[in-house]
Amino acid sequence: MKRLESSVKAPDRNAQFEELYAQYADDVLRMAYFYLADKQKAEDVCQDVFVKLYTRGEAIAPGCEKAWLLRVTVNCCRDLWRSAWLKRVVLGAPTLEIIPAQEDTIEQREEKAELMRAIHKLPVQFRETILLHYYQGLGIAEIAQMLGLPEGTISSRLSRARKKLESLLKEEATGDGYQRT
């Protein structure tokens, strides 16, 4: 398996930070928001991820930057999701609010929002696998390496996540809504 880190010293930390921030900060922020459904926490995660990038001693191997950033993002989100479990259980899970740009069209927006909310309602292990695969475009092998799990587990999670998602969407279509989280 390819290692995500290299012992090569970063020639210019600021330049690397600037480049990666410009390229991936929106991905990190949106991934964290999609995971947590909390804008403030997503911004905190984004900050943590890029502070870790800036302060780490070693450069990230070329081509592995996005995977590294997403791995740290998922870990930060997991920590926050776990630490807030009681609040979530008692107050109910947060609802994913859609934040489209003002100039976006409103055609089919509600349908798309439905899909995203359904994904957010998935159990956390399914949710992060779906987000990494379908949203961030990572392959099964990359996700397996990132999460430290066998590829078969990731394939199985994806398959089960799709089935669960399908049933959630059907529930929504029949008017049951998302009463359970």
Partner 1 sequence: MDIKELERLAPTADEMLSGLHADETMKRRILSAAREEKKRSVSMPRLVPALCCAALAVACIGMFAPRLSQTAVSAAASPAPVSIDTIAAGDEQAVSMTRMADVSGTARVRAAGGSSDSLFASTSGDIPLVAVNGAVYRMLSTPTNVESSLLGDAVGTVSTTTDEPSLADDSAMAGGLSNVAEAGQTIYAVSGVDVNTAVACEVGGNMRLFQRVSYAGKGPGGQGLEDTFSVRGQVAELTLSGVGTLIGDAANDAAAVLLDHATLKSADSSARKQTLTVTLTNGLKLQLGVSGDTVSACGKWSCPEFFEAFESGL
Q: Rounded CA gap, 125 and 147, in Å?
A: 10
Q: Is 176 helix (H, G, I), strand (E, B) or coil?
A: coil
Give start and end residues of each alpha helix (H) in 13-150: 13-36, 39-55, 65-83, 85-91, 109-121, 124-130, 140-147
User: Which of 137, 148, 175, 177: binder of partner 1 (CB under 8 A)?
Assistant: 137
What is the biggest distance separating any 2 CA atoms in the chain, rounded to whole angstroms?
57
- Crossing angle of helices 140-147 and 151-173, in 10° steps, is 110
55 lies in the binding site for partner 1 (CB under 8 A): yes
Complex with partner 1: residue 57 or 63, whichever CB lies closer: 57
User: Which of 2, 3, 5, 124: binder of partner 1 (CB under 8 A)?
Assistant: 124
106 lies in the binding site for partner 1 (CB under 8 A): no
Range list of β-strands (E), 92-134: none
User: Which of 8, 15, 115, 141: binder of partner 1 (CB under 8 A)?
Assistant: 115
Backbone φ and ψ for 70, nearest 5 degrees, come out as -70, -35
Please give the structure tokens belonging to residue 70. Answer: 């997403």
User: Which of 72, 74, 119, 143: binder of partner 1 (CB under 8 A)?
Assistant: 119
C-beta of 95: minimal distance to partner 1 in Å? 9
C-beta of 33: minimal distance to partner 1 in Å? 6
Q: Is 5 helix (H, G, I), strand (E, B) or coil?
A: strand
Residues that bind partner 1 (CB under 8 A): 17, 21, 25-26, 28-30, 33-34, 39, 42-43, 46-47, 50-51, 54-55, 82-83, 85-86, 88-92, 98-102, 104, 109, 111-116, 118-119, 123-124, 130, 134-137, 162, 165-166, 169, 172-173, 179-180
